[in-house]
Chains A and B, each alone.
Chain A
């Protein structure tokens, strides 16, 4: 448990195994909420927030409840219920304690329950990190650092992509390519650039 582990996990989750461009998780908000830079920033902040808390909670539940009692086959049902109720709870807490934060994140929080990046990170934390012999604290640390890296990677790509899309609005594009098709090609070119980072660590 050291800073190197933390930094390695963050860089590999953020840049090398980027959640959108390499793993194809969270494509719906990537296309739906990336028309304006401001909404892209709000969405990625909400995703980062929920992702870190959800990964910590789901890892804890898996390690302390599901695995010891051999009921890991209900993992998916348990995770999605936990995430859905967690999002609801967070919405209530934020609404009560911070009006400004609620104004910034409020409209994005309900969308996050069905964001596959959150459930995807929770599931892949279990398959990639969890083993029988790994101590709980160490595994939790790794899971949380992966979630931080993934959330940052999501935000980075969403921000870059929304900036490109704002420029695309004023560009002269053939009618057939306007909107989603040209955005997907832009994403493909970005993905090609990120493929160059494979093998850095």
Chain B
């Protein structure tokens, strides 16, 4: 596998959330808004890359009998560091994510990558794998977050939780202009999508769209296969016919 393939596989082909259903707790809990989803994703990218690098460095030292506890300790250390940094740099995000920052420790995605990739590959490949998988996870979280925030409030905001780049909260995208002055889209939005129930339903809808694509693909492949088999049968039959005709012609 080339380095580019290794990096890109986390986005679509092996996306942790949409394909493998790993790390579902943060995918449902932290995606009420685009910003909390992005923040959670960034934290996971940091932890996953750092822990992959360290575990890959230690892969020949750690005895295989106690590897899971050792991995958990490495991951928990980085989670603690990242949690402290978040508390310092973006306190609003820290407060909004709450218990889900320490819970990155038990995210199946991180332990899974440590077990399946970092413990068998060299440091550079493990770092690329961690970065790619983390960004794929972030991508999935952001997709869910944007859909939920847009359906739930009618606009997508930036600046409430992440204080970087902007001074005051700004609207990245809104439908307010569509309704004219004095009316706000927030009055017409489906606020259910911001609530816990909406999390399940939104993720269910997204997964159904993905599954629909796969079903279509397999159906198309099957159709092509059937067509190919029919074509081969026809050719074979034609050949038989021709040889039979030849024989008849030779005989006569």
Contact = CB atoms under 8 A, between A and B. Distances in A.
Interface in B164-220: 192, 195-201, 203-205, 207-209, 211-212, 215
Given A24-B28, A124-B99, A184 B69 contact: no
A178 B211 contact: yes
A97 B130 CA distance: 43
Interface of chain A, main secondary structure: helix
A31 interface: yes
A187 B79 CA distance: 30
B228 to A, nearest CB: 23
A185 B80 contact: no
B196 A21 contact: yes
A185 B204 CA distance: 6
B69 A31 contact: no
- Interface size classification for chain B: 35 or more
Contact of A192 (B25, B98, B111, B197): B197
Nearest to A32: B21
A81 B69 CA distance: 7
Nearest to B29: A24
Contacts of A26: 25
B77 A185 contact: no
Q: Which of A22, A123, A195 has the most chain B CB atoms closer than 10 A to its own CB?
A: A123
Interface in B60-101: 68-69, 72-73, 76-77, 79-80, 83-84, 98-99
A188 B204 contact: yes
Interface of B: 21, 24-25, 28-29, 68-69, 72-73, 76-77, 79-80, 83-84, 98-99, 102-103, 105-108, 111, 192, 195-201, 203-205, 207-209, 211-212, 215
